[in-house]
Amino acid sequence: MEVVLAKTSGFCFGVKRAVGQVYEQVHKGKKVYTYGSIAHNETVVKELEEQGVTVLESREELEKLTEGTVIIRAHGIPEEIYGLLEEKGLEYIDATCPFVKRIHKIVQEQSAQGRRIIIIGNSGHPEVEGTKGWTKSPAAVIESPEQAWDFEAKKGEKLCIVSQTTFNYKKFQDLVEIFRKKGYDIIVANTICNATEERQREAIELAARADVMIVIGGTHSSNTRKLYELCRSECENTYYIQTLEDLQLELPNSVELVGITAGASTPNKIIEEVQNYVRINF
């Protein structure tokens, strides 16, 4: 039996950079806070908490803070939170992913020019919430064909469409096409990061070959959920796990290939544990 790990698996550039900056400040002996979970992976968050890192879950908690170093997570934050940090005189480190920063710049500029912002993504996701905080007027969040067809622009209104960096690329294209068919004046910025496209493409190709597919990632990870959905569409025997402890696997002798992929917030050590376990025990 062959076990194949997708080449693009585990920490993406943005998450790796953000987590690294947290550990760097911890090792300097500072009291560290993150504005929101630094990554959508419970294992990573728990390990950082054991190092004394505290997660600030809301603006209200940030307002009460009087000391320490605040690290802005890779997902980014609304513009007003930067203002609050400056107003309070708190030390902060901006670990927003550069790909997310690019979206903030686009929506800020285009909304200032009068275009209404359409964000293709998951409502409530921290990256989407952060992006909404950079527009000059309320943005619309679209994540399904039904929502796209139901959306109505005002007469003469111009639109700018961007995407959550970890959104499904094909779904993004399909939703943009609906806006085109409705005849709106639109500017489209494909802001899905290259690593996400590669990760999804590799996962689909591997799942199409595999008898069993294992997808590793946090239970609240949007990009891991999308990987699971894509793999499940190609391989019926697809498993979504967070750690090795979640793996309940019984493989028949007919299985020749087990594929493994992992979300952008999954540490390498968890991937290696799962990979080694499957190789040794099956």
Q: What positions carry a catalytic annotation?
A: 127
CA atoms within 13 A on the CB side of 88: 20
> CA 68 to CA 59: how far, in whole Å?
16
> CA 147 to CA 188: how far, in whole Å?
17
> CA 73 to CA 265: how far, in whole Å?
12
Helices (H), the chain: 13-27, 42-50, 59-64, 79-88, 98-112, 126-132, 145-150, 169-181, 194-209, 222-234, 268-281
Amino acid code (one letter) for 176: V
Phi, psi angle pair for 60, to nearest 5°: -60, -40
> CA 257 to CA 133: how far, in whole Å?
45
70 touches 36 (CB < 8 A): no
CA 26 to chain centre: 24
Tokens standing for residue 177: 């096409």
Neighbours of 116 (CB within 10 A): 21
4 touches 210 (CB < 8 A): yes
> CA 244 to CA 117: how far, in whole Å?
41
